[in-house]
Amino acid sequence: MSQLFFQYMNTAFLLTGGNLGNRLQNLQRAYKLIEKNCGHIIRSSSVYKTAAWGFTEQPDFYNQALQLETELSAEKLMRKLLSVEKTMGRKRVVKMGPRIIDIDILLMNDIVLNSSLITIPHPRLAERRFALTPLAEIAPNVIHPVLYKAIKELLAECKDDLPVYKISNNN
């Protein structure tokens, strides 16, 4: 007797970034580890370079947005992403300081969540050109579930003046 089983798939938009070591290679390794441990990456942005945001006396960051299909809940996904960071050697020493890899969940479905582990949508997404630029490349028409604006609109309205440079095309 066969049974039909439907697993609900979640769509998450992630931002990977880092400014230590071989930044491009680190993004590629993070991509592979996320794909192996978290779900299927269905779209990835180009890689972008930007100066550090907040704590500015550190090397420039490389960032890439990923669209992930996953069976994981938001909190389980965040735990897996933290595990990927740890596997890659991330050490949390200085808040907003240099790091080999950082992986954030920017958006997930239409979820609005604020827990001790994670806040979705990312609370500073609309303020950060370095996150909006790669996200707008792969999801320009996705609506922010709190601000009710498309990502491309948020990018057009973003007051962050840190330049963001495309350095490589998507995978």
The catalytically annotated residue of 23, 29, 104, 129 is 104
18 burial type by CB count under 10 A (0-12 exposed, 13-18 middle, 19+ buried) = buried
Q: Which residues contact 160 (CB under 8 A, 6 or more apart)?
A: 53, 127, 128, 129, 130
User: Which amino acid is it at 149?
Assistant: K
**d(C-alpha 107, C-alpha 96), whole Å:** 20
92 is catalytic: no
SS3 46: coil
> Given 23, 102, 128, 160, which residue is catalytic?
102
Told to judge if 90 belongs to the known catalytic residues of this protein, a careful annotator would answer yes
Overall residue count recorded for the chain in this entry: 171
Q: Are 18 and 138 in contact (CB under 8 A)?
A: no
Q: Which two tokens stand for residue 4?
A: 């039909």
Active site residue: 90, 128, 129, 160, which one? 90
Per annotation, catalytic residue among 99, 128, 129, 160: 99
CA distances from 71 to 8, 10, 56, 97 (A): 6, 6, 37, 32
Instruction: Give the residue numbers annotated as catalytic, written as ranges.
Output: 90, 99, 102, 104
